[in-house]
Amino acid sequence: MATDSTREPLLTVSHVSIGFNGTPVTHDVHFSLFPGTITALVGESGSGKSVSAMALAHLDPSQAEVSGQAFLDSNTTLNILDNTLDQASLQKLRGGQIGVVFQEPMTAFNPLMTLGKQVEESLIYHQPKLSKQERKEAVLHAFEAVRLPQPERIFTAHPHELSGGQLQRVMIAMAIINNPSIIIADEPTTALDVTTQKAILQLLESLARERHLAILIITHDMGVVWEAAQYVYVMQKGEIVEEGSTRQIFTAPTHPYTRMLLDAVPKLTVDSEGEDSPTADSPAPALVQLEHVSLSYSHRAHAKLALHDISLRIGAGETLALVGESGAGKTTIGKVISGQLTPQQGTVLIGGDNLAGLKGKKLRQARSSIGFVFQNSSSALVPTKTIGWSIAEPLLVEESLGGTKLSSQQRLERVEELMKHVGLDPALASRFPYQLSGGQRQRVGIARAIALRPKLLIADEPTSSLDVTVQKRVLDLLRTLQQEYGYACLFITHDLGIVQEVAHNLAVIKSGEIVEQGSVSEVLAHPRHAYTRTLLDASPRIDVSAR
């Protein structure tokens, strides 16, 4: 059961069942955490992994009904899951014995308070004897421990002045400052760029080692598990279905669900031949062509260029993946191609037309030949309208722009057809967005995008908020649809792993400049630019043999 049977667990959890309004969410969950060890609790959203872990610090939603036992090695009589735990013990537990790291560093801090103060707050209640000066020293020390540069500056900074990666380090500093024995990290890297993710995982690893911490990482990402954890619990529908050492789980998964999770992980297979990525046989005629495009937001003289000398082409029926970290300018390129932004320099040709020269109806037509899929499709759906209405909406807009008038019966049929194409049950047409799962909503978004048979599909991080298994299915769908509809696709992503699955060509962008482009197999096999190599290194690569 344990990775090292000679050590005693720091925390033993057993028979944990959690329910909401009488409906059970988890059933008889158990796990143990050992000093110096990172344990992963892996599963897809809704599997109950987060509630189970958060219940330890009583941080799950207040309506949750929790039963079960959890004992810290320091006090084997006190069940920390006890509902009747008094406030004082609870406060001692939180931040004192258990530190917590959350998923979204950008929103996890009080925006009005300096970071120093927020970390210091933890000390005030757990180590009341410290003087103000001692507290500050302790905070600065913790900042150094998590390898934050310029701790003094960060002490007085507000959350919005720091990057997500830096904030996550501050969060970790906050979690360890009272020297707890246990850290619970809930999807600690999901909101971060791939390079940052790697660094944070390395930090957690070293902290576990150096401070003999027991760290519980909750994640849906097998890549993260592979990178960081020594022991894994796999959770499905509220139950632990499999556990074992990381190596065991990756090499010899026994439960079908575990196998499915592993299959769904996009594999970055670097093959010197690069033959298994779908490459177009002959260069297709260019649908989109950007030549020497430069653009700066705002008129301020000191404004940085958002895009600098961008040249790229997307052939008809081809997919170009645009890869880079957040803020690199990926989305901006999408906006330039769709005509939402006009570059100050360079030309943008869509199907041979210069978008800048188009006006009025021509421009609207050009735009209607472009479909969009966004990261968060639910925000693009009107919450008070049915799914059917949302899918029919682009058709209606097209009609109002002079397109073919459809009878309501024809429209209905078209909506049904689209729903079938994207793998949705047409019976869902009368449902409302909130009644659908994230994957279903993303399919609705795709149905809307292809409703007008676009020549170009711009997909902006379409799967980054989806679970791996869902992501795989959505990527499959996009590929199938491309064969059927023949659209060209600009696929914006930060995840090199999925590039191989969907794209023919790849452009790597950094700080508004394209540093490298070419066919996917070629770039991945022979990255020329240092940045591409960094990205490749940071991508979780599951290589069982290397372990």
Partner 1 sequence: MSTFASSPLARTLWYILKRAVQALVVIILIAVALFLVFYMLPANPAQLSCGKPCTPEQLQRVSAFMGTDQPWYAQLGAYMLGIFAGRTFGTGASAVVCSAPCLGYSFRLSTPVTTLIAQRFPVTASIAIGAAVLWMLVGVSTGVLAAVKRGTWVDRLLNALSSIGISSPSYLIGLLAIIVFAIELPLFPSSGYVAFSTNPLEWLQHMLLPWLVLALLNAAGYTRITRAQMVTELEQDYIRTARSKGVPERRIIGVHALRNALLPVMTLFGLDLGALLGGAVLTEKVFSMQGLGMLLLDSVTNLDLQVLVGSTLFAAALVIIANLIVDICYSLLDPRVTLGH
Q: With contact defined as beta carbons under 8 Å apart, do 515 and 509 qualify?
A: yes
- Per rule CB under 8 A, is residue 129 in the interface with partner 1? no
Q: How many residues are there in the chain?
A: 547
- Residue 192 Cβ vs partner 1, minimum distance, rounded to whole Å: 15
- The DSSP annotation for 475-509 comes to HHHHHHHHHHH--EEEEEES-HHHHHHH-SEEEEE
Span of 121-129, 247-255, 270-278, 513-521 interacting with partner 1 by CB under 8 A: 121-129
Residue 21, Cβ density class (10 Å: 0-12 exposed, 13-18 middle, ≥19 buried) = exposed
Span of 171-179, 192-200, 402-410, 504-512 interacting with partner 1 by CB under 8 A: 171-179
Of 44-63, binders to partner 1 (CB under 8 A) are 57, 59
Establish how many alpha carbons lie within 13 A of residue 52's alpha carbon, considering only the half-sphere containing its beta carbon: 38
**Burial letters 315-342, b for 16+ CB under 10 A, else e:** bbbbbbbbbbbeebbbbbbbbbbbbebe
Among 126, 135, 313, 510, binds partner 1 (CB under 8 A): 126
- Residue 72 Cβ vs partner 1, minimum distance, rounded to whole Å: 15
Decide whether 107 or 340 has the Cβ nearer to partner 1.
107
Amino acid letter at 538?
Answer: A
- Residue 221 Cβ vs partner 1, minimum distance, rounded to whole Å: 20
CB atoms within 10 A of CB 359: 8
- Per rule CB under 8 A, is residue 503 in the interface with partner 1? no
- Residue 167 Cβ vs partner 1, minimum distance, rounded to whole Å: 11
Among 50, 122, 375, 442, binds partner 1 (CB under 8 A): 122
- Per rule CB under 8 A, is residue 546 in the interface with partner 1? no
- The DSSP annotation for 199-251 comes to HHHHHHHHHHHHHT-EEEEEES-HHHHHHH-SEEEEEETTEEEEEEEHHHHHH
Angle at 207 between CA 126 and CA 120, to 5 degrees: 30
Closest alpha carbon to 14 in 75, 77, 85, 68: 68
Decide whether 170 or 535 has the Cβ nearer to partner 1.
170
For the chain, counts of helices (H) and of strands (E): 19, 20
> Torsion over CA of 355, 361, 362 and 367, rounded to 10 degrees?
60
Region of residue 402 (left: phi > 0; alpha: psi -120 to 50; beta: else)? left
Decide whether 204 or 449 has the Cβ nearer to partner 1.
204
CA distances (Å), 186 to each of 104, 138, 189, 394, in order?
9, 25, 9, 39
DSSP-assigned beta bridge partners for residue 372: 458
- Residue 185 Cβ vs partner 1, minimum distance, rounded to whole Å: 11
Decide whether 14 or 376 has the Cβ nearer to partner 1.
376
- Residue 138 Cβ vs partner 1, minimum distance, rounded to whole Å: 14
Q: Look up residue 1 and give its two tokens.
A: 């059961």
- Residue 218 Cβ vs partner 1, minimum distance, rounded to whole Å: 14
Among 28, 65, 82, 121, binds partner 1 (CB under 8 A): 121
Closest alpha carbon to 135 in 154, 147, 122, 152: 122
- Per rule CB under 8 A, is residue 128 in the interface with partner 1? no
Decide whether 118 or 258 has the Cβ nearer to partner 1.
118
Write the interaction track for partner 1 spanning residues 86-115; mark x where CB under 8 A is met and - where it is not: -x--xxxxxxx--xx-x-x--xxxxxxx--
Q: With contact defined as beta carbons under 8 Å apart, do 343 and 295 qualify?
A: yes
- Per rule CB under 8 A, is residue 436 in the interface with partner 1? no
- Residue 30 Cβ vs partner 1, minimum distance, rounded to whole Å: 23
SS3 175: helix
Question: Largest Cα–Cα distance in the chain?
Answer: 77
- Residue 110 Cβ vs partner 1, minimum distance, rounded to whole Å: 4
Decide whether 302 or 359 has the Cβ nearer to partner 1.
302
Decide whether 89 or 248 has the Cβ nearer to partner 1.
89
Decide whether 106 or 349 has the Cβ nearer to partner 1.
106
Among 27, 147, 158, 411, binds partner 1 (CB under 8 A): 158
- Residue 216 Cβ vs partner 1, minimum distance, rounded to whole Å: 13
Decide whether 217 or 355 has the Cβ nearer to partner 1.
217
Between strands 11-20 and 23-33, the pairing is antiparallel
Q: With contact defined as beta carbons under 8 Å apart, do 408 and 389 qualify?
A: no
Span of 157-165, 228-236, 361-369, 460-468 interacting with partner 1 by CB under 8 A: 157-165
Distance in angstroms (rounded) separating the CA atoms of residues 150 and 193: 22
- Per rule CB under 8 A, is residue 28 in the interface with partner 1? no
Of 252-311, binders to partner 1 (CB under 8 A) are 300-302
- Residue 460 Cβ vs partner 1, minimum distance, rounded to whole Å: 24
- Residue 252 Cβ vs partner 1, minimum distance, rounded to whole Å: 36
Distance in angstroms (rounded) separating the CA atoms of residues 58 and 51: 9
- Residue 178 Cβ vs partner 1, minimum distance, rounded to whole Å: 8
- Per rule CB under 8 A, is residue 153 in the interface with partner 1? no
**How many chain residues bind partner 1 (CB under 8 A)?**
35
Amino acid letter at 7?
Answer: R
Q: State the residues that interact with partner 1 by CB under 8 A.
A: 57, 59, 87, 90-96, 99-100, 102, 104, 107-113, 118, 121-122, 125-126, 158, 160-161, 171, 174-175, 300-302
